[in-house]
Amino acid sequence: MFDGVGEAKEHFKAVLNGTAVGSPVEASELRNVLALYADYCVAAPGHEVDKTAVNAFRRQNNDERPGGIHAVTTCFYVHFEDGTESDFSYGKAVSAIASHST
């Protein structure tokens, strides 16, 4: 659906930035975000899941980095039908899918 990696990253960046923290992704984009996650699971070892993703939200993390520095990051996270969830970076997902496809 995208002409290149840059276009895909810009699209998903806009979706993420257009979603309030803790809120679900707009219904019009939910299918795209869940498809991105599913393709990421295929393309990136260690991200395989055997559960059905049913929704996606924006989450903000305040993660500690090396040297005790904290960084605020935002990412998508998906909810599964069994109530569990998993977060993922749209940038890493797009890159992994592009590398996997070539």
Is 75 within 8 Å of 89 (Cβ atoms)? yes
Going along the chain from its start, the domains and CATH numbers come out as 5-101 (3.10.450.40)
Q: Above pLDDT 90, what percent of the chain? A: 55
Supply 100's token pair: 């996997």
Is 78 within 8 Å of 55 (Cβ atoms)? yes
The mean per-residue pLDDT over the stretch 60-73 comes to: 74
| Residue 42 phi, psi (nearest 5) | -75, -40
Is 41 within 8 Å of 85 (Cβ atoms)? no
Cα 102 from Cα 57, distance rounded (Å): 29
Q: What is the pLDDT of residues 4-24, one digit of tens each?
A: 899 999 999 999 999 998 899
pLDDT-based confidence at residue 31 (cuts at 50, 70, 90): very high
Q: What is the pTM of this model?
A: 0.85
Q: pLDDT at residue 73 above 90?
A: no
Q: Which long-range contacts (CB under 8 A, 24 or more apart) does 7-11 make?
A: 8/94, 8/98, 9/90, 9/91, 9/94
